[in-house]
A and B are shown apart, each in its own frame.
Chain A
């Protein structure tokens, strides 16, 4: 273990990390977002979902540093009198949860199908790649919107509201899997023809075993890069769906939902209700994207 750690700190990846202030900053911002979201119930100054503590008299309070602001509400309050900072922390929780789950779903699905297609080839490969082609013709947000719309139409409203979170995760995950499948398939086909895999086959190692223990480790690098970059995209997709009013249910507002709610008050001058969740979203996605970019460069020295 210590050996692994020592090797990590001696590696090019770590070296390039310490040499890039922007990357380190992104890591810190991402960490703050994740910790803030994770521990929201314990560290948020207010509980925005506790209806008893809400008071409409507190509505539309501007941020604390303005003239009419109150110390209790650092980033102001919204139309319901909810503390914007707390709402952001809870909202980031939902955004991250959906983003991570959707990415995990897309990664698992894409890697599995990509491995199968690349290793087995033949009709399965042709079929899967055809599906990829068709799906990649359409922007992923459109695919997600469509899946969400169809599920919405197929299920009664009450049922839908209960499982809306899963629907969004499913919709975004489905819309992103082809990228993973394509990459993994390509690398798998290369790996499959390498001598060590041929040798494993000759001595009778079973195909699932070859794929898991020989091929998979070799395609993980690119998968990690795509997954990181995809996380930013998935968070954005969720925010977009929620902004359009078809994403997560109103009872679990994500950052996108908060922005949509705040958008209604933009013209009356209550800009903080929409801008602060927006800035949080940007910070989160930007830091994740910067980390993904750095990871891609660090793992691919030839692109530097």
Chain B
């Protein structure tokens, strides 16, 4: 178990290093940070001082090392656009994005998995056909259009729910949460549906496909031949085997949710990291982009690690070193 985690972390390291290198390359070579930071009027001496100050006169690898050292400490320099430390900006915005993504993921899982199981088991019922059609529409609907349609109906026409912002938030230490106020929860409804709908349909289709695949296997036929009740065959044998691939994809989708939060946050003016990122892309604010990229990758890598551990928990074939093996 321990060795397994270590090996997975070792595998994740190159990914993180590659991403860090890309971030750093963006940081160091895209645009001219010195010119941007100095503004219009500067003397050569000032420029030299800043170059030295930023360490830009150092060799590439030293600069990269410093960059990583700083990144590990959460230090990403100043935003070109807002002239504030990037770490502060991100810390302010992270809770909004994480709460939104978490809610969306839970919505997607709690509805998507049962719908997938149902459509896999009763593939010819009219409800399954309805779900499938719905899912195809869901997959084809771009996130931002879902948001716009929801705003049009529930905010503009019906006036039931707010169309932008987080509502009132409560500070818990440095974390600001919208879960604890009524306006906060109301503000969360439309964005989380918008963000979760695509994943919901994807999870549903995936679970259905896996379920159909598993139901065709010999061990399911054998379980039926042993006279096990449908409940045991479907929700024990079949569902458990379905979970193995589903966990992987759902883990990856959690990453996608955070990425698509960029779109949802733009539609709903949700004050999260995604909005910050898209404003940075628009304004070529490289330090923020680099930091966001690193942070997101760290998040993805951790999610992948958790996925691997879950995998390990579900599938005994991965737990090597138990029993005597084949005779």
Contact = CB atoms under 8 A, between A and B. Distances in A.
Query: Are A and B in contact, CB atoms below 8 Å, in the complex?
Result: yes
Interface stretch (B1-9, B42-50, B221-229, B281-289): B281-289
A134 B18 contact: yes
Interface in B268-299: 277-278, 280-282, 284, 286, 289, 293, 296-297
B136 A154 contact: no
Contact of A278 (B143, B145, B256, B281): B145
Interface in A270-289: 271, 274-275, 278, 281-282, 285-286, 289
Nearest to B205: A293
B246 interface: no
A42 interface: no
A244 B278 contact: yes
B260 interface: yes
A269 B152 CA distance: 9
Query: Quick one: which of B145, B286, B289, B304 has the most chain A CB within 10 A?
Result: B145
Nearest to A131: B18
Interface in A231-284: 232, 236, 239-240, 243-246, 256, 259, 263, 266-267, 269, 271, 274-275, 278, 281-282
Contacts of B156: 266-267, 269, 271
B259 A142 contact: yes
A139 B260 contact: yes
A121 interface: no
Contacts of B142: 236, 239-240, 243, 256, 281, 285
Contacts of B140: 232, 236, 282, 285-286, 289
Contacts of A150: 26, 30, 289
A145 B281 contact: yes
A137 to B, nearest CB: 5
A254 to B, nearest CB: 12
A178 to B, nearest CB: 13
A285 B198 CA distance: 14
A153 B286 contact: yes
B207 interface: no
B144 interface: yes
B191 interface: no
A244 B260 contact: no
A53 to B, nearest CB: 29
A137 B304 contact: yes
Query: Quick one: which of A152, A153, A232, A245 has the most chain B CB within 10 A?
Result: A153
A149 interface: yes
Interface string A136-150: 111101100110111
A167 to B, nearest CB: 12
Nearest to A290: B136
Contact of B148 (A134, A154, A240, A259): A259
A159 to B, nearest CB: 13
A263 B268 CA distance: 11
B117 interface: no
Nearest to A283: B140
Interface string B290-327: 00010011001100100000000000000000000000
A286 B141 CA distance: 8
A141 B257 CA distance: 11
Contacts of B38: none
Interface string A149-183: 11011100000000000000000000000000000
A273 to B, nearest CB: 11
B96 interface: no
Interface size, B (range):
35 or more
A145 B276 CA distance: 13
A18 B40 CA distance: 68
Interface of B is mostly: helix
Given A266-B151, A278-B148, A286-B137, A153 B255 contact: no
A279 to B, nearest CB: 9
A278 B141 CA distance: 9
Given A145-B262, A293-B136, A134 B15 contact: yes
Contacts of B137: 282, 286
A153 B284 contact: yes
Contacts of B263: 141, 240, 243-244
A240 B238 CA distance: 37
B266 interface: yes
B31 interface: yes
Query: Quick one: which of A133, A138, A141, A149 has the most chain B CB within 10 A?
Result: A149
Contacts of A239: 142, 144
A289 B136 contact: yes
A240 B281 CA distance: 14
A259 B152 contact: no
A259 B267 CA distance: 11
A246 B281 contact: yes
A263 B148 contact: yes
Closest 4 CB pairs between A and B?
Answer: A153-B284, A149-B281, A139-B259, A286-B140
28 contacts: A133-B15, A137-B300, A138-B255, A138-B296, A141-B260, A141-B262, A142-B259, A145-B262, A146-B289, A146-B293, A149-B280, A150-B289, A153-B284, A154-B30, A236-B140, A240-B144, A243-B144, A243-B263, A244-B278, A256-B144, A266-B151, A266-B152, A267-B156, A269-B156, A271-B152, A275-B152, A281-B145, A290-B136
Interface of A: 130, 133-134, 136-139, 141-142, 145-146, 148-150, 152-154, 232, 236, 239-240, 243-246, 256, 259, 263, 266-267, 269, 271, 274-275, 278, 281-282, 285-286, 289-290, 293
Given A137-B252, A236-B142, 12 more contacts: A137-B300, A138-B296, A141-B259, A142-B296, A149-B280, A240-B142, A243-B144, A245-B278, A282-B141, A289-B139, A289-B140, A293-B136
